Structure 1
Amino acid sequence: MSFKAAAIQMCSGVNPEKNAAAMVRLVRDAAGLGAIYIQTPEMTGAVQKDRKELQTILRDEDSDLIVRTASELARELSIHLHVGSTAILLADGKIANRAFLFGPDGRKITSYDKIHMFDVDLDNGESWRESAVYRPGTRAVVADLPFARLGFGVCYDVRFPQLFRAEALAGAEILTTPAAFTRQTGEAHWEVLLRARAIENGAFVISAAQAGLHEDGRETFGHSMIVDPWGKVLALAGGAGEAVVIADIDTAAVKAARAKIPNLKNAREFELDVLSPMLAKGGVTV
């Protein structure tokens, strides 16, 4: 089946109301171009690294502005709207980095909590500890839409190919990795990771990204992208500011790619031997 998909690039600030307004405007633009599946970036609702300030704007799912606005917008435009993620307050006081998918009737089809936490120390001095703020998810999600089967991921998840392989083996034809990649890691790895996930799974990859210098001081890489199952970049945004990228998705390309390179079928179970270094004569370790 063929349809138009769009990835919305944003530069979300610390104010959810302003971010919701930007989301509405950009999603309307994408729908006006004919997109029936539209994805927003990770942390659509707010990019806020100050934990105390983040706590002041947190809401539970039933009260969250982005969730409510996205539901209403999906129903108004009769689209499938995928909120790449937003911060959601949980009943135990912890926070989920949660993605949402809404159908054309405005109802929530499913949600997905980011599994892999970005706990890293970069060589430019940046240090991130998502696990200090967010509770990681524990389940992968694949959802059937009228036009394709969709697999979920968020940002750092893209570095864990086993997640997307499991989704592809479950029949996912489109893999999603909405993100707020740092500029340093994005410049080094963003495109190659997205293309690799597409190629190794014979699937489309759609990745809406945050882009530019944010109010909280962080800088994100942008370059929202749509990649086909053969690894070809179909649509690409720039590295700063808002954008809408759109591409025609034909799920027949998934079947064709998997027929040419049937690695999903050819995978085999194997044992792993780990050999300890042996002490050679004369006390030399080889």
Structure 2
Amino acid sequence: MRVSVIQMNQGSDKAANIAAAERLIAAAAESDRPHLVSLPETWTNLGGGRDARMRAAEILPDPGGEGGPAYEAMRAIARRHEVFVHGGSIIEDGGEKLFNTTLVFDPEGAEIARYRKIHLFDITAPDGTGYRESALYGGGDRLVTFTAHGITFGLTICYDMRFPEQYLALRRAGAEAILVPSNFTLQTGKDHWEVLLRARAIETQCWIIAAASWGQYEERGAQRSVYGHSLIADPWGHVVAKASDGVGFSTARIEPAVTERVRRDMPVLEHRRLA
């Protein structure tokens, strides 16, 4: 099964972001013919402050219902290219709170999975910049998996990757690959991005598929930067595909035989004693 990670430099113009995602996925589909494409975290909006996020938010329909512009764009992309679309995440209007929410569509355009980010990014970066995701967003409370081409995928978003217990729970729920759409800050990304993702791959013996945003964006008059370097790691922790700086995509083949061999030869899940 071929999987492509899409690397974007989105801003606060939702329509422009949707058009950019459509172009990148079309290019990946023509070049690499993936079975699944994965977008970054909040690919319809990055920056612009609270008002821009509120404008970008969509009320999600019941499965099968008609959704907003991003929801319908993902459905159309899935049908057009006959691929599974992992929609990174978009901003969900949940009423009293927004949610950072992943949607997955099958090649017929049917929604097959929905996940709300569990761990919210409330930190102070090394340069002193503060991030308070919980000021605007609510957190999710359940694990979500889906199956494509016989492979079980687990859903996470960005900051979730720092909580290995969530990844172990997904492995125990049957995950063979785990998706990690992200807007990882440049400050933390250069030191932690790849090592964390490789660690999660090694610990869970899952493929790790991490589509990320890259470049600069404006937030309340200040310039912020996200790291990019979208990647795919195998269950042994090797990076088998990686995007360079800039907008683009990268593709790798997910091999169930590799997963089976790694788990057979080093059955760490069976050996666990303390968790």
Q: Is the 8 A contact 1:174 1:203 kept in 2?
A: yes
Deviations 1:131-163, CA, capped at 9 Å, x for gaps: 111010000111122231000100000000011
Q: Distance in 1 between matches of 2:167 and 2:233?
A: 15
Structure 2 matches for 1:97-136, cutoff 5 A?
Answer: 97-136=100-139
Amino acid at match of 1:153: T
How far the C-alpha of 1:129 sits from its partner, in A, is 0.4
Q: Which residue, 176, 179, 182 being the options, matches 1:179?
A: 182
CA distance in 1, matches of 2:218, 2:150: 37
Match of 1:43 in 2: 42
- Tell me by how many angstroms 1:49 deviates: 5.1
* 2:21 counterpart of 1:18: no
Q: Which residue of 1 aligns with 2:5?
A: 7
Same amino acid, percent of matched pairs: 36
Give a deviation string over 1:242-261, Cα, whole Å, max 9, x none. 11100111111111111121
Tell me if structure 1 keeps the 8 A contact 2:200–2:208: yes
**What is the CA deviation profile of residues 90-115 of structure 1, one whole-angstrom value per residue up to 9, with x for unaligned ones?**
1x231010001000000100110000
Q: Give the secondary-structure state (helix, strand or coil) at the position aligned to 1:81.
A: strand
**8 Å contact kept, 2:48–2:218:** no
Q: Offset at 1:57?
A: 3.1
Aligned position for 2:142: 139
Aligned length: 266
Tell me which moved more, 5-14 or 30-39: 30-39
1:123: Cα distance to partner?
2.6
CA deviation profile, 1:166-187 (whole Å, cap 9, x unmatched): 1111111101111000001101
In structure 2, what residue type is equivalent to 1:138?
D
Is residue 120–residue 127 contact of structure 1 (8 Å, CA) maintained in 2? yes
Q: Is the contact made by 2:117 and 2:157 (CA closer than 8 Å) also made in structure 1? A: yes
| Mapping of residues 135-284 of structure 1, within 5 Å | 135-216=138-219, 217-239=223-245, 241-269=246-274
Structure 1 gaps of 5+ residues are: 271-286
Do 1:16 and 1:65's aligned partners in 2 also have CA atoms closer than 8 Å? no
What TM-score do you get using the length of structure 1 for normalisation? 0.90
**Cα RMSD for the two superposed structures:** 1.2
Question: So what's the TM-score if we normalise by structure 2?
Answer: 0.94
Q: Which residue of 1 aligns with 2:27?
A: 29
